[in-house]
Structure 1
Amino acid sequence: MRSSFAFHLRLAHCRATVLIVFLSAIFWPPAGFAADSQANRAAVGTHGMVVSESDDAAHAGIEILKQGGNAVDAAVATALAVGVTNPASCGIGGGGFMLIYIAKNHGFYALDYRETAPLMARPDMYIRNGKPDPELSKDGILAVAVPGEIAGIDAALRRFGTMKFQQIAAPAEKLAENGFAVNPHLAGEIAHMLPKLNADPGMREVFVKSDGAPAKAGETIYAKKLAATLKRLGDDPVANFYHGEVAAQIVSFMKEHGGLITANDLTNYRPIWRSPIRRQYRGYDVVAMPPPSSGGVVLEMLGMLEGGRLAGLGVDSPPYLARLIEVMRQGFIDRAQYADPAFVGVEIGKLLSDRHIGELRDRALHRKAPPPDTPAAHDHGTTNLLVADKDGNVVALTTTTNTVFGALISVPALGLLLNDEMDDFAIAPGVPNAYHLAGERANEIRPGKRPLSSMTPIIVTKNNVPVMSTGGSGGPTIISGVLQVTLNVLDFHLDAAHAVDEPRIHEQAVPDVVIVEESMPAATRVALEEMGYKIKVAPSLGAVGALTIEPGNYRGAFDQRKGGGAVGY
């Protein structure tokens, strides 16, 4: 039986004071951490920095910066390249969010190029024999939403870029045409999904060897048809992808295989420039993507924690983690109110108000009863990248095809892997999606609607100048991961690499379980269990990249949980 949060904090201090002092000396940083390993996961730059979940893609972005491109140019180049080298997570068949800071006018810009439901989609499209069939929204042609990636990056380039599309796409085209080495994370995804990859001609051609074995880490694979598609897009990629030859091939494929996307869907797709949302936190201004992103949930969590003197508790100490657990729970309960603002009146001002956050803080302190139990969430697709240039411009970009290899279906002639973003909608009230997030009415399927997303790229400023940026991948663990890495930098003053490396936890209200990374000291897990928390241990929780910024001193770190690259110059 749960008692009050305040009581448990006192209990934790009484039972674990000696334990905390001991652990702070022995386990924080985590056991097994070697100081010289920082060179393998982090980088320092004086003129620019790119952090990506692909080392090849990070170098593609740096190549563009060195050619004179700005942060937006480099971010687009990195996104296109990571779509080639990390195809299980993202690509031009998906969509995403881009948060941009332009130093010249200290302006923030939020670009939403999230996928949309086809115009023929309907709320009951996954109901069979009176019951919802969640698998239909995850695998196969009915899982595919209208891609937004090309329209989004084109919009960003036209507004803030300095280079033409083909110049920026050149590194990605080269990787696809000439081949790239499979990294360990991708090799694991290919091996895990081998039977389903074998079932699709386009993916089998790229990821499966002639003897039927999966491509292994270190081996070279080629995506020549994707390279050709990128070249065909020319310098007006929207015209071709949404209106021209590429569009015609996509529509023909959809019609042949029973898909819902039509020429009208592609013609009518538009990225949206939205107003960023923000909230003060301990003298910093934290800027995030608005709905349908979950950026507001991170801001709500930070608001609940402000004034809590977290540094005095100790990074990853049991009392600190107990506070995070309660705050995460309240934030995820509130997440049900977020949705596409074109279809649902999201009262973001109210959700981020001092009054509302004060109410949430009070609920967290008194540990309101959580919802019923369901299976635990786990990691899936998506990728994040961060870029800063010599002029102080910063881009935080998160892009996805949703779950691993999206809908597990491709347009073979184009080398185009298709998303399964329809699974991010609520396919029926109370039915959890692939991330075990239960469906809510605000996020139900509507034609042309954008599904709610856990993607939450943020940029933090002090005195109107960026000091850090972060974002992540891994479904709902993006929200908890971004929160913890941000706190590690702002409250505990860790550098980018150590902020990313610290063990993390995740609590999303449903289920009533706290997922803890196995790198968290066992004594800490025991202390949390003694407080009454149900603990589930996981190998890792998503992946988060971080970038800290000082004049002439950029420090970036990718997350070793998934791999990647951080490159400065």
Structure 2
Amino acid sequence: MLQSITKVCFICVAISLSSACYSAPESNAFKGAVSSASPEATEAGLSVLRQGGNAIDAAVAVSLALGVSEPAGSGIAGQTVMLVHPGSGKKPFVIHGTSWSPSQLPERVEPSQLRVGHTASTVPSTPRVLDFAFRNYGSGQVSWSELVQPAINIAENGFVIGPFRERSFRYYGDSLRNQPEAKAIFIRHDGKDFQVGDILVQSLTAKMLRRIAEYGAEDFYSGEIAVSIAKDMATHQGWITLEDLNNFPDPQVVEPLVIEYQGYQVATLPPPFGGWVMLKALNLIEQQYPNSLPSNKDDKAIAFLDALHLAHLSRFESPVSGFYEYHEEVDAKISKQEAARLLSNYHNELGGETTHFSVVDASGMAVSVTQSIDSYFGAKVVNPDYGFLYNNYMQSFRLIDDGSPYGLKPNDMPYSSMAASILSKNGEVELVLGSPGSARIISAVAQVIARWVQAGETIEEAVAAHRVHAIANKNVFIEQPEVSANLMQKMALRGFTLRRPQFGVADSVYDPYFGGVHAIARQNGVWQGAADPRRDGKATVIYRLVNEDDRP
């Protein structure tokens, strides 16, 4: 049964762009699609679909494989949240996979303790979420060990470093050198950063995954892996205890937030996640342009900046007052009337790293999954026995109690901008997407949805389009290489100040600062996938020819 979460004390460039655009003959049967941030993870999900697994089974395999093949963005010791649409005529639901702060915190906490090192980690949810999803919603056609095996293979045999992953290692390599165990895994033996084409092997992670395959996810919370985590935390003055791990709960299943947008039902994640802010941005875009978006590139950018600034400002000035009983409050925040009111007042005044993947199976079940260890490479330290990176979600809490639900407390959920989303029409899934990127998640997801729905762009075009981002203080960020004088003038009239991201992982065309949307869409009755060119991902749609073998 769906329920409000209650507080408990115990959660495509792959090297080249590989988006699927396959138009299937009528004699073909759609078998599934996967879009993720690494080609290795996408292939792991496809292999499960080919074995007869459903979208949940495939999502488990993709999740574990991403933790190995894109270690900067996610991993076994992070948090994973799933938005699930079971298929035709059924209601979507959220597997609420938040992580939790440890049960015992010191009286005095320094800001640096929440950013890096063992004290920066919340109690991870990912293994528990994957196990829960598999037990309750898996097909029963594929075993747990079979779902873990692709990740074991990637860890043992290694994966080839792609351009985005190379830039991540190059920019954050120095921080990984501070711990000998992390350095031994994520820095080359000659002391240099990994380069494009190098192969990264993670033997200790393979050892951990073999235990997970044999003993189940529970080993992470009450077996040898749990003992290792607790010992490592105690050695380095971390705050997670064996009791925290032993008592970590199953995720709850809760209702998503849903609005009507241009004839679609848009479902997304509830608090503490950022879905309501993304829905508010869509309402604001629709209020300005009730039909199609402006065709002019500059006008389109301004429409997005206006909506995103107001949505992010609303979250800053009027956050949800709690993460447990929020329905009435959030309904008001995401109403069409509230969007109209904000725009009226606004115009009168005029003068973080994560990963996301999407899966759809032959039955129409769709899963939109965002998972993270928070910053690039999380807490920048690894477990010495099993080689996985700890998350640094503790930095999402505020040390000063400002009356919001974000204050640092034991056994509580961290603030998050995750906004995994699914669009449906007449009960049928039409678009599955999400993004990494801290607050830019909200901006990226809203823009891709608006471009696909209101601008009539294909999903590849919508994902590949340059993006903008605006924050509460009127600082704005624009991805496109050149900003016209016309756009600068329009921004000046609104008091916007143009800033440039300083994250160091951009190439000459795209910047991962603006997210990494991995999406699957049904266009003219045909499923298509899109992998974000800002990462090393891959999107593939597979069909089964009648009486023939599967072909991609």
Would you say same fold, with TM above 0.5? Answer: yes
Q: Identical aligned pairs, as a percentage?
A: 28
What is residue 306 of structure 1 aligned with on the other side? 286
Map of 1:5-84 to 2, 5 A cutoff? 40-44=18-22, 46-84=30-68
What is aligned with 2:527? 554
Distance (Å, rounded) in 2 between the aligned partners of 1:465 and 1:312: 23
Partner of 2:223: 244
Identify if the C-alpha distance between structure 1 residues 167 and 104 changes in structure 2 by more than 3 Å, giving closer, same or farther. Answer: farther
- Name which of 198, 201, 204 aligns with 1:225: 204
Match of 1:332 in 2: 312
Partner deviation per Cα, 1:510-537 (whole Å, 9 max, x = no partner) = 3x21111133553454343453432224
Contact 1:344–1:442 under 8 Å retained in 2:
no
Pairing of 1:399-414 with structure 2 (within 5 A): 399-414=371-386
Which residue matches 2:181? 202
Counterpart in 2 of 1:375? none
Counterpart in the other structure of 2:540: 567
Query: Structure 1 residues 101, 343: closer, same or farther in 2, change over 3 A?
Result: closer
Native 8 Å contact 2:292 2:455 kept in 1:
no
Q: Is the contact between residue 144 and residue 419 of structure 1 (CA under 8 Å) also seen in structure 2?
A: yes
Paired position in structure 2 for 1:186: 165
- Indicate whether 1:177 and 2:150 are aligned: no
Aligned partner of 1:474 in structure 2 is 437
SS at match of 1:306: helix
User: What residue is the counterpart of 1:364 in the other structure?
Assistant: 346
Shift of 1:285: 0.5
| 1:154 alignment counterpart | 131
Worse-superposed segment, 229-238 or 155-164: 229-238
**SS, match of residue 264 in structure 1:** helix
- Could you tell me how far 1:321 is from its partner in structure 2? 2.6
After superposition, the C-alpha distances for 1:400-434 in whole angstroms (9 at most, x for unaligned) are: 000011000111211121000001112336xxxxx
Aligned position for 1:455: 418
Give the alignment partner of residue 394 of structure 1, picking from 366, 382, 388: 366
What whole-Å deviation, never above 9, does each CA across 1:121-177 have from its counterpart, x for those lacking one? 36x6434xxxxxx33211111111100000011111111112332111111110001
Distance 1:235 1:258 in 2: 31
* Cα distance between partner residues in 2 of 1:235 and 1:359: 56
- SS of the aligned residue for 1:556 comes to strand
AA at the equivalent of 2:346: A
Q: Aligned equivalents of 2:363 and 2:418: distance in 1?
A: 27
The whole-number CA distance in structure 2 between the counterparts of 1:339 and 1:189 is 36
Shift, 1:199, TM fit: 2.0
SS in 1 for 2:419: coil
Matches of residues 418-497 of structure 1 in structure 2 within 5 Å?
A: 418-428=390-400, 441-497=404-460
- Report the equivalent of 2:330: 348
**CA RMSD, Structure 1 to Structure 2 (Å):** 2.4
The verdict on how the C-alpha distance between 1:367 and 1:227 changes in structure 2, with shifts beyond 3 A counting, is farther
Matched, 1:319 2:292: no
Please state if 1:518 is matched with 2:495.
Answer: no
User: Which deviates the most, 156-165 or 73-82?
Assistant: 156-165
**Which of residues 115, 119, 124 in structure 2 aligns to 1:142?**
119
State the 1:452 CA deviation.
1.4
1:465-496 per-position Cα deviation (integer Å, ceiling 9, x unaligned): 11112111111111001000000100011111
Please report how far the alpha carbon of residue 260 of structure 1 lies from its aligned counterpart in structure 2 after TM superposition: 0.5
For residues 296 and 184 of structure 2, the distance between their equivalents in structure 1, rounded to whole angstroms, comes to: 45
CA contact (8 A) 1:327 1:364 kept: no
* Aligned-partner Cα distance in 1 for 2:347–2:304: 11
CA contact (8 A) 2:302 2:487 kept: no
Deviations 1:274-318 (A, max 9, x none): 111100011111000111110011111212232433665524633
Q: Which amino acid aligns with 1:545?
A: H
Q: Which amino acid aligns with 1:517?
A: E
Look up the match of 2:467. 504
CA distance in 2, matches of 1:88, 1:549: 30
In structure 2, what is the Cα distance between the partners aligned to 1:563 and 1:97?
22
- 1:42 and 1:338 mapped to 2: Cα distance? 39
What is the letter of the counterpart of residue 428 of structure 1? I
Q: Any conservation in 2 of the 1:469–1:546 contact (CA below 8 Å)?
A: yes
C-alpha separation in 2, matches of 1:125 and 1:345 = 34
Paired AA for residue 427 in structure 1: L
For the 8 Å contact 2:60–2:130, the answer to whether it is kept is yes
- Conservation of the 8 A alpha-carbon contact between 2:293 and 2:454: no
Give the gaps of 5 or more residues in structure 1.
1-36, 128-133, 370-379, 430-438
445-454 or 159-168, which moves further after superposition? 159-168
CA–CA separation in structure 2 for the residues paired with 1:491 and 1:273 = 32
1:550 and 1:303 mapped to 2: Cα distance? 23
| CA spacing shift, 1:367–1:151, aligned 2, 3 Å | farther
Quote how far apart the aligned CAs of 1:237 are.
Answer: 2.6
| SS of residue in 2 equivalent to 1:329 | helix
> Do the aligned partners of 2:323 and 2:405 also contact (CA within 8 Å) in 1?
no
Deviations 1:439-480 (A, max 9, x none): 773211111111111110100011111111211111111100
- Give the residue type in structure 2 aligned to 1:509: A
Secondary structure, aligned partner of 1:441: coil
Contact residue 61 and residue 148 of structure 2 kept, 8 A: yes
Deviation at 1:330, TM superposition (A): 2.0
User: Structure 1 residues 344, 108: closer, same or farther in 2, change over 3 A?
Assistant: closer
1:253 maps to 2:225 = no
Do the aligned partners of residues 135 and 231 (structure 1) sit closer, same or farther apart at CA in structure 2, a change above 3 Å counting? same
